[in-house]
Amino acid sequence: MAQQFDVGNQIIDAGLMPILEPEYNIKAADRAAGEAILRNEILKHLDMFPKGRQVMLKLSIPATANLYQPLIDHPAVLKVVALSGGFSRAEACAELAKNHGMIASFSRALLEVLRADMDDAAFDAALGHAIDEIYSASVAAA
């Protein structure tokens, strides 16, 4: 975690917004406990972060709803965005909607139904449906 925050400071020094991405495996047997440890370690480093500086956090959707609320509310955090983390889009959206203040940063879940052999209309419809579903989950969580 120290390394992520050190690099985050370098990114801020360059005039950019760092996105820190300490990911915990959603298939880990100790997932809930591990995510709580991760949250506590992130909080420890946020509390030591220089005043007036902010980071974004990109985290897997936690097993325990609203586990990351203290991160979302922390003044050193601009935004907490959720990885789909291997969930299907439907699962990721359902889990995201349970976590107030997180918004989606889904790539795999966004693109899961898109295929190269789709015609333009089918591609546009599938992409539009995916965007609407992910947006709805983000708004429900916000």
Our count of domains for the chain comes to: 1
Q: What CATH number corresponds to the domain at position 101?
A: 3.20.20.70
Q: Is 21 a catalytic residue?
A: yes
Q: How far is CA 83 from the centre of its chain?
A: 4
The residue annotated as part of the active site, out of 41, 58, 79, 91, is: 58
Q: Is 27 a catalytic residue?
A: no
* H-assigned helices in the chain: 2-13, 31-48, 69-72, 89-96, 108-111, 120-141
Domain, as residue range, for 11: 2-141
pLDDT tens sequence across 25-65: 888 999 999 999 999 999 999 999 889 999 999 999 999 99
Counting residues of the chain whose pLDDT is more than 70, the rounded percentage is 99
- Categorize the per-residue pLDDT at 8 as very low, low, confident or very high, splitting at 50, 70 and 90: very high
d(CA 72, CA 68): 6
pTM of the model: 0.86
The residue annotated as part of the active site, out of 21, 41, 91, 112, is: 21
pLDDT of residue 111: 85
Average pLDDT over residues 81-103: 91
- Do residues 31 and 86 touch, judged by C-beta distance below 8 A? no
Cα distances (angstroms) measured from residue 6 to each of 22, 71, 80, 105: 13, 18, 19, 23
Residue whose C-alpha is closest to residue 88's, from 106, 71, 101, 103: 106
